[in-house]
Structure 1
């Protein structure tokens, strides 16, 4: 397996992408709840306040159509790779709905003009930076359609200034919201890096693992004790991500992390290597004993299933094993040897544990279970 060890910058970037993905999924779930506030606020306002309506049937149609749109967006299942497209569709729906409501309730003088803040803040917080200006341009265009036929010419000077300040405010609000959102995400990333814990699996991250592994290596050299490295890779996680979305893939990674944590000793070190890979250092353990530990982890994972749309998904892992001093005299060499053994094991059918050095008596081979 021709790969290099992670550098700290790579680890930081991978963890940052992971945090962004989880934040986006979390925001998507929150948006599903808060977007129902729009029709609720509109209906509550009409019930509580006596307001002139230009075309009541059209207003009722707008509310009904938007409720159907929200129901449709929540019922269909979207892959995580379409999350931004989904949120963009929801923002477009908000803009259209608010614009229709304003046309029926006084245009620029409508007391519901502030509802434009919903799509403004949503696009600023959740979508890429280049998306917000596009939505704002469309929103200002819709805003201009709500002006009287003579435009700003029919306004007094004070009304013209107030209208321009309102448009400027619509541009300033998303800018501030975007700054706050970016600052919070950076702060969370820094906390994640300082904590030494992987955000998703609950295990150590590589920033913490490598220094601890080197200390264990120095201790083993000094006292002549063995230790072993396990490289663990989830089998067929990519198809799960592509078919059901990263949310389900993340659940599998979290489950595997839990299995690893409960099957190792307090003196052992386990970390998420990156993506769907994990690494474990077994304290004072030779390759033969490491095989037994790896088998325990593999069989525990094999017993698990993950709920997915339409059924359950079986989970299996492949494990490569390398021991000090049999397979290397440096931590990096052992990781490379364990990685190579993992690659060989996956090539032989997956769902198995393989000791560095190729197939032999120490190899443990198990056919993967068919997926449900």
Structure 2
């Protein structure tokens, strides 16, 4: 296949990929639509640039400037899509390499024709943009360990390396007069379309998989997390609690839990409304979270009820840990427009015993102890019998 045909096929493949992205765009959540739009727009602009390479019907200076400029700006827009995917701010001078590269190409095609300088300018500008993509994909705070992200990073690294090879090849090659990148006069013209296809074709697949992986993790998080407080929900508590209970029983150890209930929560909803009630729940979750130690689990199981799986399993130690949680809530004032609304919790403590057949029986004993604390005057900790 000659290079002209390769560029045509490449352009059509990129158009097909962009069309596929457009079809799934409306089904994506809001936080993914903008990154996908940027990636789609970038690949469409790159496709237009390669199409101009294959059909130089315009005057040569115009064709060369617009085709190469489209590729550089398309790459930059794809770069911006990666940044939006990660939620990182745009680079202040992000479009400068593309703009400078396009100006150099325009000058050395229309004013002072020089094929070698044009090729080197495109290669250098592309390397800067691709290097920025690799840098953002490799930032530690955004690494999630997904194979799709590693694949996209590898593609950018490979394209950057091949682009540097192309730069070196043409820098030392003896380019004949009338040289064109759209024919097969040089071996690099055969390799270039293959390299160019990696980002818009394989790269688009990897980027789509990144979005799919993000959606999967969001669904898993939603299924295991309380929507209001961000704490683990009852499902997560049950799965973790049962696993810890069975492991502790096999090893001859105990499991301790604290069941925490906000005192008089219904009156807060009745007096101030459910919005303030939600604020109160978030406030209590924050207070309790500050009192949780490493290795412990705090979950919201519904309504005004929380459960903490404690690391202290001796009854007195577990009671002290629960007392500390109770005090954390009492000490930190809940303010509504400068007015303090008293918030306290009652806590029931249960430590697993040989009579406990499963995690649910331990949870029931903690619930009974919590109601005993309520009956004894609230704002206190009660250890289950």
| TM interval, short-chain normalised | 0.3 to 0.5
User: Rg: which structure is higher?
Assistant: 2
TM-score (norm 1): 0.43
Higher relative contact order (CA 8 A, sep 6+): 1
Greater helix share, 1 or 2? 2
